[in-house]
Amino acid sequence: MDDTIARYCEFHYGQSYFGVPNFPASLAEMCLRLTRDRPRREALDLGCSVGRATFELARGFDHVTGLDFSAREIQVGAELLEQGFTRYELLEEGELSSLREITLADLKLDGTREKVAFYQADACNLKELYTGYDLILAANLIDRLYDPRKFLVMIHQRLNPGGLLVIASPYSWDEDITDKEKWLGGIRKDGEPYTTLTALHEILAPNFSPVGDALKTPFVLRITQNRFEHTLSEVTVWEKRKPES
């Protein structure tokens, strides 16, 4: 593994830092609370990275699919699925690193393996088979897409009526990833500040109703033993409206 993949392995499966709870596990727990009295047949973890939330969602759902654009990240989830453990070298400083091993059994997730599948996919151009979900989690995804509006406009087609879309994002727009004209927010519109949250409400309004208020959720990404990134990701929840009878 390269340093970036190992960093995400630690972010998903390693220890927590500075008292900040594990982010993928916390999001999955939130999703399970939200769906406590709702159908829990199929869930989609879109932009699943190395897969922690995918496994965590399977604690409550009958089946969970994890999709990510990165084949290297999906490979970690697939390895855990196949053999129940993975190893990675965690950067300490300079050229020094330490070997880590994580197992699904230690995380009490081994029993979810039969309910999980991982595939490589483009969130902006999903195959037709990825549909019929009761919940879709898009964690730290929209600001990493080349066309986030296209994703948001079509995503209702993949949810069952009454299904939930959970979006988490720090809105860290970057022209190297998303052309500026396709940023959802963080811009001026008609001379006035225009936020990503405002854009989400406008784009999702035709098919979704918001559930509760936006919630800022922290996460810590370990870079080295002495360097960490502390970020807030804003979580919003959207319910796909049922057809009028």
Question: In this predicted model, what pLDDT tens digit does every residue of 15-31 receive, in sequence order?
Answer: 999 999 999 999 999 99
User: Is the pLDDT at 77 greater than 70, yes or no?
Assistant: yes
Give the whole-angstrom CA distance, residue 12 versus residue 47: 13
Q: In sequence order, what are the residues at sequence separation of 6 or more whose Cβ sits closer than 8 angstroms to the Cβ of residue 32?
A: 56, 57, 59, 60
Residue 226 lies in a domain: yes
> Sorting pLDDT into bands at 50, 70 and 90, what band is 243?
confident
Band the pLDDT of 184: cuts 50, 70, 90: very high
Span 101-127, mean pLDDT? 97
Residue 47: how many other CB atoms lie within 10 Å: 24
The residue with tokens 């079509």 is 154
Q: Cα(199)–Cα(119) distance, rounded to whole angstroms? A: 29
User: Does residue 1 surpass a pLDDT of 80?
Assistant: no
Q: Can you tell me the mean pLDDT for 187-212?
A: 97
pLDDT (tens digit, 9 = 90+) per residue, 137-178?
999 999 999 999 999 999 999 999 999 999 999 999 999 999
Structure tokens at 245: 């009878």
Judge whether residue 245 has pLDDT over 70: no
Which pLDDT does position 2 carry in this prediction?
Answer: 85
At residue 229, the pLDDT reads 97
With a pLDDT cut of 70, the percent of the chain lying above it is: 99
Distance CA 221, CA 231 (A): 8
The neighbour count for residue 102, using CB atoms within 10 Å, is: 20
Q: Residue 245: inside a domain, yes or no?
A: no
* pLDDT tens by residue, 208-233: 999 999 999 999 999 999 999 999 99
Domain, as residue range, for 183:
3-240
pTM, entire model: 0.96
Domain holding 209: CATH number? Answer: 3.40.50.150
Cβ contact 117:125 at 8 Å? no
**Total count of domains within the chain:** 1
Query: Which pair of tokens denotes residue 1?
Result: 């593994």
Q: What are the pLDDT digits (tens) for 52-61? A: 999 999 999 9
